[in-house]
Amino acid sequence: MSERDVLAEEFEANRPHLRAVAYRMLGSLSQAEDAVQEGWLRLNRSDTSGVDNLGGWLTTVVARVCLDMLRSRRSRREEPLDANVPEPVASRSHGGDPEHEALMADSVGLALLVVLETLEPAERLAFVLHDMFAVPFEDIAPLVGRSSAAARQLASRARRRVQGKPAIPEADLERQRKVVDAYLAAARGGDFEALLAVLDPDVVVRSDRRPIGPGGATEIRGAAAVTELAMKGRARAARAALVNGAVGIVVAPGGRLLMVLDLEIVDGKIIAIDAIADPDHVRQLDLALLPPAQSC
């Protein structure tokens, strides 16, 4: 058997996986087949003698082809789902082929494809490869031309859209911002009463890493205890930020991110604060600094 025959055999063994990746990326069986065929052509033009994992190499090649196709589709303002509605499971045109049935039935309904179509191409690639095919962010990052942390955030944003988590209305964000600004101003000024005013009496603070209470506790409850903790903290290094789409706080003394405070605000009161300091956890957050509060 020649080297080319061996490559062809290995490619055919990987074809179902490559087609599944391409279908989730493109939402069209015919376009998925085109992307897989392009992967075969690129394999024939490449020297793969130094490739240890041909399946992984082919996955990244086909994913890159799909990304280019998505970007081209966006630039032409195409709406592919109008014309490329997924075929029903056990379509007669495929003779009830088990591979085709699995492809269509394996968590890829029209509803999911519609949501995927709303994502930016890079978000879609990061979500599909990582969440559906367990490709590490280190391998995804070069495909989208970003860092591993940035690729992780692309997938995080896509995941929230796919899970149907609604965007927070602007008016609610403004109300959250007022509460956060009041909390920060009171903490910076050491105003115990003003802090109590923005905290729910049963507020809870949870830390994912550092002890914050007596005996090394990582959770404290009650407005008085939380107020004392806030007044001992690094309020002057804290800034309001969007944390996964809601208003929260980042603490960055000297410009070095120390922790993120993910707040839960109900009826103008802070009812819970998650202090996130673990680097892996922080990298999974979607963060964006907000402009400084307006002075009165």
Q: Are 106 and 185 members of one domain?
A: no
CATH number of the domain at 215, please. 3.10.450.50
Question: Each residue of 118-156: pLDDT tens digit?
Answer: 788 999 999 999 988 999 999 999 999 988 878 888 888
- Does residue 216 share a domain with residue 112? no
Q: For residue 169, what is the DSSP state?
A: P
pLDDT of 107 > 60? The answer is no
Out of 9-18, 67-76, 92-101, 221-230, which region has the weakest mean confidence (pLDDT)? 92-101
| Residue 96 reports pLDDT greater than 70 | no
Q: Is 139 inside a domain boundary?
A: no
Query: Based on the domain organization, do 112 and 176 belong to the same domain?
Result: no
Does the pLDDT value for residue 204 go beyond 70?
yes
Q: Are residues 283 and 184 in the same domain?
A: yes
Q: Is the pLDDT of residue 86 over 60?
A: no
Instruction: Identify the domain boundary among 101, 117, 133.
Output: 117
Residue 122 placed within a domain:
no
- Based on the fold, state whether residues 79 and 184 are members of the same structural domain: no
Say whether pLDDT at 34 is over 60: yes
Strands 269-276 and 199-207: parallel
Hey, is 10 helix, strand or coil? helix
74 within a domain of the structure (yes/no):
yes
Residue from 178, 209, 214 nearest 296 by CA: 178
Predicted confidence band of residue 260 (pLDDT cuts 50, 70, 90): very high
Boundary of a domain, candidates 55, 87, 117 = 117
In a domain? residue 151 = no
Question: For residue 236, what are its two tokens?
Answer: 């002057």
> Are 184 and 105 members of one domain?
no
Residue 295: is its pLDDT beyond 70? no
Number of residues assigned to the chain: 296
Mean pLDDT of 96-124: 63
Under the banding of pLDDT at 50, 70 and 90, the label for residue 79 is very low
pTM surpassing 0.85?
A: no
Residue 119: predicted pLDDT: 84
* Shared domain check, 95 and 24: yes
Better-scored residue on pLDDT, 244 or 191 = 191
> Between residues 22 and 160, which one has the greater pLDDT?
22
Residues contacting 188, CB < 8 A, separation 6+: 235, 236
Looking at the fold, whether 178 and 106 belong to one and the same domain comes out as: no
Please report the pLDDT score of residue 166 as a whole number.
59
The two three-digit tokens of residue 279, written as one number? 């680097």
With respect to residue 187, please indicate whether it lies within any of the assigned structural domains. yes
Q: Are residues 273 and 195 in the same domain?
A: yes
Mapped onto helix, strand or coil, the DSSP state of residue 114 is: helix
Q: Is 130:180 a contact under the CB 8 Å cutoff?
A: no
Determine the pLDDT at residue 170: 77
If one counts the domains in the chain, the total is: 2
- Is pLDDT larger for residue 95 or for residue 127? 127
Residue 262 tokens, joined: 């993910």
Whether residues 280 and 194 share a domain: the answer is: yes
State whether 196 and 272 are in the same domain: yes
Give the residue from 152, 129, 134 showing the smallest Cα distance to 287. Answer: 152
pLDDT digits (tens, 9 = 90+) for 41-66: 999 998 888 888 999 999 999 999 99
- Residue 265 parent element (H or E): strand 259-266
* Last residue in a domain, options 117, 134, 149: 117
Does residue 188 sit within a domain?
A: yes
Could you tell me the pLDDT band of residue 35, with boundaries at 50, 70 and 90?
Answer: very high
Residue 97, domain extent: 3-117
In a domain, 284, yes or no: yes
pLDDT band at 209 (very low <50, low <70, confident <90, very high): confident
Residue at 59 is within a domain: yes
Q: 3-state class of 276 per DSSP?
A: strand
Tokens of 141: 């990052």
What's the confidence (pLDDT) of residue 227? 95
Shared domain check, 99 and 23: yes
